[in-house]
Structure 1
Amino acid sequence: MGAIGLACAATFFAGSAFAASPGYRDVDAENTLVIDTSKGRVIVEMYPELAPQHVERMKTLTRKGFYNGLKFHRVIEGFMAQTGDPKGTGEGNSDLANVPAEFTIRRDTAFPINVIDETRGVITGYVKAMPVQTQPNALTAITKDSKVGAWGLYCSGALGMARAGDVNSANSQFFLMRNYNNVLEKKYTAFGMTLVGLDVVRKLKLGEPPVDPDTMVKVQVMADIPAAERPKIEVMDTGSSEFKALVEAKKKEGRGEITGCDIAVPVKVLP
């Protein structure tokens, strides 16, 4: 992988509401979490295309109020911030059954990936704002299911599900990446991206556990927030010509080379 890049870049606008920006899309409110922490607000969009069971678990626990008040019990400099444990020790979970691993998916050629690069037999692209890699389409001609593997990348801001040694032991604990780390890829389920508040994630108190740890004060599914109170966000469409121009500019900077973690997907937070 190449240079570490921010997962997303938020741009704040004053004045009148900004609507229907060329090259942008609305966030998926039903699959977006609004996490108000003791350090500020974090907004994370999740992608059921990559890990439907993990997305459903996060929404179920959020709607139960399970995450409200829980500590960030493990925050490591240059790595990630972990939370979701009611015990605050890293040993607790919800009372729901564990979630099976969704480290990778099997996709066909119609699966919506916005490709930015294809080198050394690996396609790099995006599922909405989530950087992913996948085997090339040509391999679908020789696989038994006519599909190939794909997986999310652990770029800065990525949402991943924590687990114990058993690969199928994910339950309620999750983490947000403070920086890029490819060691986790295809070993832990990656299924979301921080759209707003990566700076907040990086301000959380460090430690394993931290002294007087920061907390998630309140966690909500964006769709459950009244429309008048809901954060107004637009994300650049990674299939748009505007995003393709960003990719080409970044390739020129890198002498033709690019990774999924090199592009900061622009985000507009509207008044």
Structure 2
Amino acid sequence: MLHKVFAAVLGLGLAFSGAASAQDAVDGPGPNLVLDVAGQASGRIVIDLLPDIAPRAVDQIVALAREGAYDGVVFHRVIEGFMAQTGDVQFGKKGGDISLAGMGGSTRANLPDEFSTVPFERGVVGMANSGSPNSSNSQFFIMFAPAPHLDGGYTVIGRVVVGMEVVDAIRKGSARQNGLVENPDYIATATVR
């Protein structure tokens, strides 16, 4: 009888480990930033963060997500065929005045640049900056398509591993206004796993 109980427990353990392995296969080695998006686009985006490539930026993104800072933040600048930008936790909260979205950061210090040889391809996530060195903070962007002109000039922090169809569906902005979005989609919740 004891060997049947042991076999049943062992079987459950295998089932649980199989479920964990399936989830790991869907995500990446992690940490993974999980964005539940709402608005015109609705769904989940999972970004496999790359701490080996950009340790300081990844630490900052993880800390902000765990604090709930990204919850309710809009995709304020979205350019068809290029990228979707979000992460302005200072001026980009849905329901408030978002006229300055894209101009702010967080209460945390700006980050040093962590340039790498990782190319900006479809699904790659990079840190936005103000155009001057060491000026990234909380904002990031997700690529719709390759953009080799960005390579080596922005910090790469991760890759989308689930939900590129959600990224593709994010409401686009006006080309005449450099991607400024009217009634933008937003991050309902951001978590880390």
Same fold (TM over 0.5): yes
- TM-aligned CA distance change 1:202 to 1:25, over 3 Å: closer
The one of 138, 142, 154 aligned to 1:172: 138
* Per-residue Cα deviation, 1:15-35 (whole angstroms, up to 9, x for no partner): xx66768xx687334x10110
**Mapping for residues 144-155 of structure 1, pairs under 5 Å:** 151-155=117-121
**Structure with the largest fraction of strand:** 1
Going from structure 1 to structure 2, the CA distance change for 1:52 and 1:210 (only over 3 Å counts) comes to same
Secondary structure of 1:36's aligned partner: strand
Question: How far apart, CA to CA, are the structure 2 residues paired with 1:167 and 1:78?
Answer: 26
1:243 counterpart residue number: none
Q: TM-score, normalised by structure 1?
A: 0.55
2:48 to 45, 56, 64: 45
Q: Which amino acid aligns with 1:197?
A: G
Pair 1:216-2:182 in alignment:
no
Q: Does residue 100 of structure 1 match 2:112?
A: yes
Deviations 1:217-261 (A, max 9, x none): 000001xxxxxxxxxxxxxxxxxxxxxxxxxxxxxxxxxxxxxxx
Alpha-carbon distance between aligned partners in 1 of 2:46 and 2:74, rounded to the nearest angstrom: 17
Read off the aligned partner of 1:206 and give its amino acid letter: K
1:197 is matched with which residue? 163
How has the CA–CA distance of structure 1 residues 26 and 220 changed in structure 2, closer, same or farther, with 3 Å as cutoff?
closer
Q: Give, in angstroms, the shift of residue 99 of structure 1.
A: 0.4
User: 2: distance between equivalents of 1:27 and 1:158?
Assistant: 13
Q: Which has the higher contact order (CA 8 A, sep 6+)?
A: 1
Q: Find the aligned partners of 1:158 and 1:67 in 2 and give their Cα distance.
A: 19
Say which SS state the counterpart of residue 43 (structure 1) adopts: strand
Counting only pairs closer than 5 Å after superposition, residues 68-107 of structure 1 correspond to structure 2 as 68-85=71-88, 86-88=90-92, 89-104=101-116
Note closer, same or farther for the CA distance 1:25–1:220 as it changes in structure 2 (3 Å cut): closer
Q: How does 1:58-73 map to 2 (within 5 A)?
A: 58-73=61-76
Q: CA deviation at 1:69?
A: 0.1
- Does the 8 Å CA contact 2:27/2:162 hold for their aligned counterparts? no
Cα distance change of structure 1 residues 160 and 71 upon mapping to structure 2, 3 Å threshold: same
CA deviations on 1:111-169 (whole Å, 9 max, x unpaired) are xxxxxxxxxxxxxxxxxxxxxxxxxxxxxxxxxxxxxxxx1111100010000121200
* 2:59 pairs with 1:56: yes
Q: What runs of 5+ residues in structure 1 fail to find an aligned partner?
A: 1-16, 105-150, 223-271
Partners of 2:27 and 2:151 lie apart in 1 by 28
Question: Please, what is the CA RMSD of the aligned residues?
Answer: 1.9
2:73 aligns to what SS in structure 1?
Answer: coil
Q: 1:95 to 1:196 in 2, by over 3 A?
A: same
Alpha-carbon separation, structure 2, partners of 1:205 and 1:167 = 30
How has the CA–CA distance of structure 1 residues 26 and 68 changed in structure 2, closer, same or farther, with 3 Å as cutoff? closer
Amino acid corresponding to residue 91 of structure 1 in structure 2: M
Question: What is the aligned residue count?
Answer: 158
After superposition, the Cα gap between the structure-2 partners of 1:34 and 1:179, relative to the gap in structure 1 and judged at 3 Å, is same
Contact conserved, 1:152 with 1:191, CA < 8 A, in 2?
no
Q: After TM superposition, which residue ranges in structure 1, 4 or more long, deviate above 6 angstroms?
A: none
Q: Which amino acid aligns with 1:167?
A: P
What secondary structure sits across from 1:66 in the alignment? coil
Task: Kindly provide the CA deviation profile for residues 21-68 of structure 1, in whole angstroms up to 9, marking residues without a partner as x.
Answer: 8xx687334x10110001210000011111100110100100111000
